[in-house]
């Protein structure tokens, strides 16, 4: 008997109290037998002893150690703990928290197993860039984009509101500049300066207090920020240049070509799918704009005027032809293609880059491009001593145009980030064309013809169908989702 007790005491002394608890943390809460009364009624696992269990604490420790694959309490412990079993049982029923050495907490095996399974299924780098994770010194989130487009983050209602407000702002800019002949470089530089000042004040005092995006913005977001800045500078200059060289209705048709280019760029950059829905209604919407605007360069081919215009002098004809060609190239490349990519770049920057930061750097890029382009324009006065000869009314008009442009761009960015570039551009163009055509009819005091009315109805219908694409896509049967 003495050898047996000596062996038991030697075994218990070889294990410190914390190691006796095995896998459990040292600061774990005490095990409460009241929360688990089954150990009172559970008989010892190695005897045929009746109920209730005379030593529930020892039985609880045995069960806890069995979860961890340990057997610290063996058959030899029974004699050593039998003396105090009845006393411990009474103290635990009277006051379960009065024990001086509380047993370890209850081991929830299901929770630990679930946590282990979740840890095994998580990616090794936690959806972060491999290079940044290996260095361990970057806290930005360069997320790995999924191959499939995310349909869940599309808020059509909020996007529609911001797109309508943006369309109103852009139409106000166009009405303001419609009957005025201002220098392209002067308008561009004044607009860029106002854009830098307003966005810098807004970002510094109202938004994020930083002019450069901080984490969680990653390298991908910053690349698209710089790309958008230079794309916007080219777009701003080309838009004014197109209206300066071409007929108003020809220019409106060219800049509306972004309705077609934006979904194409979204397919390559954002992986936004182009299905039958877009292939059907995007061309219909652009054709509606052509029917409403009736651009002379294209419309005279379909519907020639009853009395042809007298043929101009050869030199005048060549000059007008050069202006027309330059304006068309600026409209197709500078507005349609680059404008569609700029719309997509807004969405690619993500919500980690604020709209104020985008506008701030876009203003800087626009100012730089305007200064470079001024070397080819000898009529501009803003970068010469003749700046004092610019009339005060021109300053008022250029600053008003710049302010409305900044507001329209900010609203358009909010629409893009609330939905997709395609939804934002079609709703903005819908509002823009509808307001301009209504204002033109009111100013000229003319009644719209039947063809224009049909074009307006088709424009509204196609824009609403494109805006509700994702809402309808969620309700389609699975067999039709791949097509529509």
Task: Check residue 147 and report its DSSP letter.
Answer: S
pLDDT given at position 297: 81
What one-character-per-residue DSSP string does 57-124 give?
HHHHHHHHHHHTT--SS-TTHHHHHHTTHHHHHHHHHH-TT--SSPPPPP--HHHHHHHHHHHHHS-T
CA separation for the pair 357, 273 (Å, rounded): 29
pLDDT given at position 321: 72
Neighbour-count burial of 317, counting CB atoms closer than 10 A to its CB (0-12 exposed, 13-18 middle, 19+ buried)? exposed
Q: How confident is the model at residue 332 (pLDDT cuts 50, 70, 90)?
A: very high
- Whether residue 124 is predicted with pLDDT greater than 50 in this model: the reply is no
Contact between 232 and 362 (Cβ < 8 Å): yes
The pLDDT tens digits of the residues spanning 341-394 come to 999 999 999 888 888 899 999 999 999 999 999 988 888 999 999 999 999 999
Cα angle 284, 287, 289; round to 5: 115
- Whether residue 473 is predicted with pLDDT greater than 60 in this model: the reply is yes
183: Cα within 13 Å, side-chain hemisphere:
20
**Cα torsion 425, 452, 253, 171: sign:** negative
Q: How confident is the model at residue 468 (pLDDT cuts 50, 70, 90)?
A: confident
Average pLDDT estimate for 149-178: 86
- Tokens 């919407």 sit at which residue? 285
Average pLDDT estimate for 11-28: 44
CA separation for the pair 484, 467 (Å, rounded): 14
Average pLDDT estimate for 54-75: 59
- Tokens 């030899």 sit at which residue? 76
- Whether residue 48 is predicted with pLDDT greater than 50 in this model: the reply is no
The pLDDT tens digits of the residues spanning 104-122 come to 444 444 444 444 444 444 4
Residue 406: name the closest of 158, 194, 231, 159 by CA: 194
What one-character-per-residue DSSP string does 24-62 give?
S-TTPPPP-TTT-THHHHPPPTTS---SSPS-HHHHHHH
Q: What percent of the chain stands above pLDDT 90?
A: 38
Residue 240: name the closest of 41, 398, 79, 87 by CA: 398
- Whether residue 87 is predicted with pLDDT greater than 80 in this model: the reply is no
**Cα torsion 178, 179, 183, 186: sign:** negative
More confident call, 79 vs 259: 259
19: Cα within 13 Å, side-chain hemisphere:
7
Task: Check residue 385 and report its DSSP letter.
Answer: G
- Whether residue 320 is predicted with pLDDT greater than 70 in this model: the reply is no
Q: How confident is the model at residue 60 (pLDDT cuts 50, 70, 90)?
A: low
- Whether residue 39 is predicted with pLDDT greater than 70 in this model: the reply is no
More confident call, 431 vs 154: 431
CA separation for the pair 362, 352 (Å, rounded): 17
Average pLDDT estimate for 395-404: 93
> Residue 219 — left, alpha, or beta (φ > 0 → left; ψ -120 to 50 → alpha)?
alpha
Which segment of 3-7, 240-244, 327-331 scores lowest on mean pLDDT?
3-7
More confident call, 416 vs 15: 416
Which segment of 64-73, 350-359, 426-435 scores lowest on mean pLDDT?
64-73
Q: How confident is the model at residue 431 (pLDDT cuts 50, 70, 90)?
A: very high
Average pLDDT estimate for 332-348: 93
The pLDDT tens digits of the residues spanning 262-285 come to 999 999 998 888 888 889 999 999
pLDDT given at position 130: 37
CA separation for the pair 434, 447 (Å, rounded): 14
How distant is the alpha carbon of residue 42 from its chain centre?
58
- Whether residue 155 is predicted with pLDDT greater than 50 in this model: the reply is yes
Neighbour-count burial of 288, counting CB atoms closer than 10 A to its CB (0-12 exposed, 13-18 middle, 19+ buried)? buried
Q: What is the largest CA-CA distance in the chain?
A: 130
Q: How confident is the model at residue 317 (pLDDT cuts 50, 70, 90)?
A: very low
86: Cα within 13 Å, side-chain hemisphere:
1
The pLDDT tens digits of the residues spanning 235-251 come to 999 999 999 888 888 99
pLDDT given at position 127: 40
- Whether residue 144 is predicted with pLDDT greater than 80 in this model: the reply is no
Contact between 348 and 269 (Cβ < 8 Å): yes
Contacts (Cβ under 8 Å, ≥6 apart) of 373: 185, 188, 237
Query: Hey, what's the torsion of the CAs at 157, 159, 160, 163, to 10 degrees?
Result: 160
Residue 418: name the closest of 142, 193, 162 by CA: 162
pLDDT given at position 84: 46
């Amino acid at each position: 008997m003495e050898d047996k007790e000596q062996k038991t005491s030697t075994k218990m002394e070889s294990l410190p109290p914390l190691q006796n608890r095995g896998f459990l943390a040292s600061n774990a809460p005490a095990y409460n037998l009241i929360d688990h009364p089954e150990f009172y009624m559970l008989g010892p696992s190695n005897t045929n002893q009746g109920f209730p269990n005379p030593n529930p604490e020892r039985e609880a420790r045995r069960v806890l150690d069995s979860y961890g694959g340990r057997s610290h309490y063996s058959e030899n412990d029974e004699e050593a703990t039998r003396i105090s079993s009845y006393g411990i049982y009474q103290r635990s029923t009277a006051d379960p928290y009065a024990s001086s050495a509380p047993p370890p907490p209850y081991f929830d095996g299901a929770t630990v197993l679930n946590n282990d399974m979740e840890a095994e299924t998580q990616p090794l780098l936690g959806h972060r860039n491999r290079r940044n994770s290996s260095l361990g010194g970057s806290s930005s989130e360069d997320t790995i984009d999924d191959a499939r487009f995310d349909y869940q983050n599309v808020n059509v209602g909020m996007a529609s509101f911001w797109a309508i407000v943006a369309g109103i702002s852009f139409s106000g800019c166009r009405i303001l500049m419609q009957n005025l002949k201002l220098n392209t470089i002067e308008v561009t530089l004044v607009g860029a300066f106002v854009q830098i000042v307003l966005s810098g004040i807004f970002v510094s005092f109202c938004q994020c207090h930083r002019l450069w995006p901080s984490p969680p913005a990653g390298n991908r977001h910053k690349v698209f920020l710089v790309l958008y800045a230079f794309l916007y500078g080219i777009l701003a200059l080309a838009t004014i240049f197109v209206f300066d060289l071409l007929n108003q209705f020809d220019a409106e048709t060219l800049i509306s070509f972004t309705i077609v280019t934006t979904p194409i760029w979204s397919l390559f950059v954002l992986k936004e799918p182009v299905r039958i829905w877009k292939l059907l209604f995007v061309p219909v919407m652009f054709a509606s704009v052509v029917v409403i605007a009736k651009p002379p360069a294209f419309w005279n081919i379909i519907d020639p005027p009853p009395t042809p215009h007298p043929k101009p002098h050869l030199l005048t004809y060549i000059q007008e032809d050069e202006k027309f060609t330059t304006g068309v190239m600026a409209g197709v490349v500078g507005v349609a293609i680059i404008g569609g990519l700029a719309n997509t770049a807004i969405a690619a920057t993500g919500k980690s880059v604020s709209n104020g930061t985008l506008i701030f750097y876009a203003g800087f890029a626009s100012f730089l491009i305007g200064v470079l382009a001024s070397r080819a324009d000898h009529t501009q006065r803003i970068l010469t001593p003749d700046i004092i000869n610019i009339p005060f009314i021109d300053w008022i008009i250029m600053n008003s145009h710049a302010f409305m442009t900044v507001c329209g761009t900010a609203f358009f960015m909010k629409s893009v980030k609330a939905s997709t570039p395609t939804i934002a551009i079609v709703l903005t163009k819908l509002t823009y064309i509808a307001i301009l055509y209504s204002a033109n009819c009111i100013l000229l005091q003319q009644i719209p013809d039947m063809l224009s009315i049909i074009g307006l109805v088709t424009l509204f219908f196609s824009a609403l169908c494109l805006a509700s694409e994702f809402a309808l896509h969620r309700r389609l049967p699975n067999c039709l989702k791949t097509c529509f």
